[in-house]
Amino acid sequence: MKQDSLQIDDQVIPYEVVHRPRVTRRIHLEINSEGGLLVVAPRRMSRRAINRTLQRRPSHVARFLGDARAKQQDLPVLSYTSGEKHLYLGRKIPLLIDLRPGKRGSVHVTGEQIRIGVPQQEHGQVKKQLTRWYRQQAEQLFVKQLQHFSSLAAWTAGQVPVMRLRMMKRTWGSCSSGGVITLNPHLVKAPVECIDYVVAHEICHLREHNHGRAFHALQERLYPQWRQARAQLRSHGHIYLHC
């Protein structure tokens, strides 16, 4: 992939441009596994236009890189072995790997452990079972919370919206113009308060498809603790999103 570069004071920062179908309006920044800068841009945007946009906000780019690289260093290297702790509802729970040759994989929470049965002691097998379990737990809990907050939101008329799950790298949830709420299964690793915040936030979007005053008034009524939960996601979200 071709690299471009950005000049900030006396520092030259190389970056790569990537395109994704869902990015259609403006660029956003990411870093790769080595800490290099990735610029995700609309396909129609030229490289010259991308560079001009970055050059107009050098301090923003530098601050993003500093923060993102610091967060990257926080992330543990996961081995998916017995004793390693994984997040569930804000708690760190150790894994117990149960080798069961010839049997199907399974996951159970027993006491203070996540017990994972696998036919062979292999990193990919354990990760696959744990990821599937996270998704199952997310679906059950998210449906319950959608039912709860829908019952409190007069604008839903008691109807629980359609929910979809999708693994996302940057987004916790979204609400389509057709009223379908999409939630990120990684959210099940966060405390329940964060799940409540995201669910309530998206239910407010059923009425207000923006973040204007009317939207924030609805959110304040439906989930007054939203500020604390949002702060938690902003400070720890990169850890919850780490597979």
Q: pLDDT per residue over 142-189, tens digit each?
A: 999 999 999 999 999 989 999 999 999 889 999 999 999 999 999 999
- 8 Å CB contact between 64 and 39: no
Distance CA 98, CA 9 (A): 55
Distance CA 115, CA 159 (A): 37
- What integer pLDDT is reported at residue 135 of this predicted model? 97
- 8 Å CB contact between 120 and 101: yes
The residue ranges of every structural domain in the chain are 3-74, 85-240
Question: What residue ranges of the chain have pLDDT lower than 50?
Answer: none
Q: State whether CATH 3.30.2010.10 applies to domain 85-240.
A: yes
- What integer pLDDT is reported at residue 105 of this predicted model? 87
0.85 surpassed by pTM: no
